[in-house]
Structures are given as C-alpha cells and as structure tokens.
C-alpha cells in the first residue's frame, strides 16, 4: 500500500489502497467512567496495535464524546457504525460484526435545544 498518491492522474493510486477498519474508542467522561480504558486495552491486545497506530487492516485510536453517553462505553466503527454498551468480553466480536448503523445522532441542534428547555422547565417547577 502506498502512503501517498502521486497526484499526477485522477485515482492513479486507487488500486493500491486497501480498505481499513477504523476503530475509535470514546474516552470522554462517561465512557471512561464505564470502562473505555479496558475496552481499548482489549482491542489493542487483540489487534496488536497501540492507540494511534495502524496496520494493513485496522486503524485504532481514541475519540471524543460521540453523543451517546447514556449507552457508554461507546466504540465508533468506520465513522458511521457504533457499538453501544461495549463489553470487554464481546467487543472484538462486535467489531467483526461491524456495529450498528448510526442514526438519530443525539447532538443535533433541535434535540439539544429541546433537552435544555425541558431541563429548565423542570427547574422552575421546584
């Protein structure tokens, strides 16, 4: 696999590019509290990769909050699939299955505004 494309022709190096599985373990507060370090250690041992390293098949690293804190710990696969409530014993099999497709991200403007308003109303009633 070439690290960089020569850039002389459109898609000239495309055939040399292998598809990698990108794995990101959330290490923001909630996921860390619910075992993100153990999850990363398990994945790291299984893939023989340290966080921040890649090989021909995998790209492993940490990431920030994914917006699914109530389902911590969370692992993001290829930017559009996620493993919620990741467990040390099953995380590698879940990665091999590819995780669940991301839908209805929590952190969009409408939902955040709605949650803030609900919280504020609750506060005023007390």
CA 40 – CA 25 distance, rounded (Å): 7
Judged by beta carbon, residue 13 or residue 85, the one nearer ligand FES is 85
Judged by beta carbon, residue 12 or residue 107, the one nearer ligand FES is 107
Is residue 86 within the footprint of ligand FES (CB under 6 A)?
no
Judged by beta carbon, residue 58 or residue 62, the one nearer ligand FES is 62
Is residue 69 within the footprint of ligand FES (CB under 6 A)?
yes
Q: Which stretch binds ligand FES (CB under 6 A): 2-10, 22-30, 85-93, 118-126?
A: 22-30
Decide if 126 contacts 109 (C-beta within 8 A): no
- Concatenating the DSSP letter of every residue in 66-126 gives -S-GGG-S-EEETTTEEESS--TTTHHHHHHHT-EEP-S-S-SHHHHHHHHHHHHHHHHH-
Is residue 30 within the footprint of ligand FES (CB under 6 A)?
yes
Residues in touch with ligand FES (CB under 6 A): 26, 28-31, 65-69, 72, 74
């Amino acid at each position: 696999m070439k690290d960089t494309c020569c850039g002389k022709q459109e898609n000239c190096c495309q055939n040399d590019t292998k598809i990698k599985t990108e794995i990101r373990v959330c290490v923001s507060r909630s996921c860390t509290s619910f075992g993100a370090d153990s999850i990363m250690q398990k994945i790291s041992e299984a893939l023989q990769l340290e966080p921040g390293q890649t090989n021909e098949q995998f790209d492993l690293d940490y990431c920030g909050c994914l917006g699914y804190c109530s389902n911590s710990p969370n692992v993001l696969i290829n930017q559009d699939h996620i493993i919620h409530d990741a467990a040390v014993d099953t995380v590698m099999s879940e990665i091999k299955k590819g995780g669940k497709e991301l839908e209805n991200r929590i952190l969009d403007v409408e939902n955040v505004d709605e949650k803030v308003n609900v919280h504020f109303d609750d506060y005023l009633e007390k």
